[in-house]
Amino acid sequence: DAKTTQPNSMESNEEEPVHLPCNHSTISGTDYIHWYRQLPSQGPEYVIHGLTSNVNNRMASLAIAEDRKSSTLILHRATLRDAAVYYCILRDVTSGGSNYKLTFGKGTLLTVNP
């Protein structure tokens, strides 16, 4: 199974950009990169996903390396509400084809300072 590696924690200042890295050196050609975030005592929420090209939505941007072995979630202007655990995960297709598991690691705890 393809795995991801993220820093345990990062710190940012309010209204500054934040770049959250994720390494996935064993990614396969058809693995999508998904990002979720989890606020304290809540369930995770979807942030963004992509395959090869960089992606933008109202919450964040996803920059994917050309070799796809790493990616970066970009929060353009961090707010206090962005303080959360951020998970970078890969589609995990088990043998049998149609099964689809999403495996979550420990993620990166982002602290935003006022």
Partner 1 sequence: DGGITQSPKYLFRKEGQNVTLSCEQNLNHDAMYWYRQDPGQGLRLIYYSQIVNDFQKGDIAEGYSVSREKKESFPLTVTSAQKNPTAFYLCASKKWAGDNSPLHFGNGTRLTVT
How many whole angstroms separate alpha carbon 4 and alpha carbon 23?
Answer: 5
CB of 93 to partner 1, least distance (A): 8
Neighbours of 102 (CB within 10 A): 13
Neighbours of 98 (CB within 10 A): 6
CB of 17 to partner 1, least distance (A): 24
Positions 40 through 99 that interact with partner 1 (CB under 8 A): 41-46, 49, 87, 91, 98-99
Stretch in the footprint of partner 1 (CB under 8 A) among 12-20, 29-37, 60-68, 69-77:
29-37
CB of 112 to partner 1, least distance (A): 19
How many whole angstroms separate alpha carbon 10 and alpha carbon 110?
Answer: 5
Stretch in the footprint of partner 1 (CB under 8 A) among 11-19, 20-28, 73-81, 102-110:
102-110
How many whole angstroms separate alpha carbon 34 and alpha carbon 90?
Answer: 6
